[in-house]
């Protein structure tokens, strides 16, 4: 993926070293998660919040690599109301 990591992207953990400051990092190398939000840290670095994070926080984007970005058409189709098909009676 050429574009930066964004909301809705799926990422893989590539750095599970404990962060400075004693925070508990809840992901291991190879873990996969969906990005809930992207933010900028007070130091100006991009950070991500991830689904299923056992320790909800924003983590350095450098800890992850992008692996999948859902196509807009697929997401829009999933959001659309279902198409109902009426059954017809054969005579």
Q: 3-35 pLDDT, tens per residue?
A: 689 998 899 999 988 877 777 778 899 998 999
Domain extent listing, the chain: 10-79
Per-residue model confidence (pLDDT) at position 1: 47
Secondary structure (3-state) at 40? strand
**0.75 surpassed by pTM:** no
Beta strands in the chain (DSSP E): 10-13, 32-40, 46-50, 59-60, 64-68
Q: Which residue has the tokens 């998660």?
A: 33
Residue pLDDT, tens place only, 31-82: 989 999 999 999 999 999 998 887 778 899 999 999 887 676 766 776 678 7
């Amino acid at each position: 993926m050429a574009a930066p990591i964004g909301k809705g992207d799926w990422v893989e953990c590539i750095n599970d070293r404990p962060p400075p400051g004693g925070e508990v990092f809840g992901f291991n190398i190879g873990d996969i998660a969906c990005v809930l939000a992207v933010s900028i840290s007070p130091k100006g670095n991009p950070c991500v919040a991830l689904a299923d994070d056992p320790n909800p926080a924003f983590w350095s984007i450098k800890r992850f690599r992008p692996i999948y970005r859902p196509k807009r058409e697929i997401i829009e189709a999933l959001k659309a109301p279902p198409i109902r098909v009426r059954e017809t009676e054969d005579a």
